[in-house]
Amino acid sequence: MRVNLERLRWVAQELEGDYLLVDIAGFTARLFLDGREVWFSRTVVGRPYRRTPVFRATLRDLVLNPTWSVPPTILREDVVPKAARDPAFLERSHMRIVDARGKAIDAASIDWSRYPGTRFPYQIVQAPSEDNALGRIKFLLPNPYAVYLHDTPSQSLFERAERPFSSGCVRVQDALKLAELVLDDASRWNPDSIAAVIAGGTLQNVTLKRKVPVLLAYWTAWVDSKGIMNFRRDIYGQDAKWGAALDAAPDASTVGFGI
């Protein structure tokens, strides 16, 4: 409780007006507009060895029917090994290979055995589709970690109590409603019009009129709206480090971590 009060102290004064709050250890996200909670969703966050970082950013744009450029770590550890074992994997997953200039490369021309655990010299891009890893909506919040929020086709994971299954980005369960709220333009963007664009399958970038501050935080203890104390498992093993720093700091106001 002491550690989490310290975490809250560093950001509580800034949590007002419009903001999107992602609680990493709590596996949740909440959107507040004009100081009122208008949206809540379960989330999936990074695995302990691919942690979702704590940071502040601003939600400025979203993408409907996004493509997915496979990140280097996932490329090396997941996609390339699957492609090496199963020649049809890329086509089945709506993935294509491109070089540095964006030129398509024939998968059959690649000797996959040359790249076990080593750098793959091409980019693999997944086209918009129902099984795209980003789902149908991607929320862009520029940051040094290349982390963003997105929809997902793997909805069954949201039924689990603990959800550290991603590679660092945050998957949200109710992405369509979040998109409607942050677009904040009922005449142009409503559930039907958003669904129509998604059904068309064409990538579309949309700049938001209302820029929304985003805070990705890490809390393992909190009091809910009913006044009940809640605790979450410290999935990233952060509490002991914070506690030791608080014990060692001559002035607790100098501690501050991750924000």
Q: Among 21, 24, 147, 169, which one carries the catalytic annotation?
A: 169
150 catalytic? Reply is yes
169 catalytic? Reply is yes
Residue 246: both structure tokens together: 């608080």
The Cα 67–Cα 95 span in angstroms is 10
2-9 and 239-248 are packed helices; what angle lies between their axes, rounded to 10 degrees?
80
Q: Among 42, 51, 138, 150, which one carries the catalytic annotation?
A: 150
Would you name the residues annotated as active-site residues? 150, 169
